[in-house]
Amino acid sequence: FFFLMIRRPPRSTQSRSSAASDVYKRQVHGYDVIYGESHPEFARLLTAFGSLFRLRCEHGNALQCLSKSREIQTQAIGENHPDYGWTLHEISRVFYDQNQFEEAQEYNSKACHIFSAAGLSTSHIHYKSAIELAALLSVKV
């Protein structure tokens, strides 16, 4: 027998990007309604989206989300909180991905200091990721 499979044509990159943008806008709006733009959970969402944008190589969008998250966290939880350190680490990864190693090292070093001062174990996923990036940067810088 001969089977004919009808397949949906693949979505274009533009349509996937548009769909991702719609999800981002809906989530940000939802968190804004629930928590407000100055709440630490809103900042945490922005950091997560910053990470996703970085993985999609949308570095401008990533830095925009991460910078906004950093502003909120500075006011809401302070610059010694591990969540603030994670945001700094994500910023350093954006710079690393763009071969801006000195900037990456600056932000990652601050993140490591925050994690250490907060008493996180070096096996904690965030601290461990920052230590691994520090090792990579020591070769690059």
Contact 105, 93 (CB under 8 A): no
At residue 17, the pLDDT reads 62
36: left (phi over 0), alpha (psi -120 to 50) or beta: left
- pLDDT tens sequence across 90-104: 999 999 999 999 999
Q: How far is CA 25 from CA 3, 29, 30, 57, in A?
A: 42, 6, 9, 19
Residue 3 tokens, joined: 């089977």
- pLDDT tens sequence across 55-84: 999 999 999 999 999 999 999 999 999 999
Note if the pTM is more than 0.95. no
- pLDDT tens sequence across 17-28: 666 677 777 887
- pLDDT tens sequence across 31-59: 777 888 899 999 999 999 999 999 999 99
Mean of per-residue pLDDT scores for the chain? 87
**CA pair distance 89, 58, nearest whole angstrom:** 17
Contacts of 141 (CB under 8 A, 6+ apart): 101, 102, 105
Q: Which amino acid is at 46?
A: L
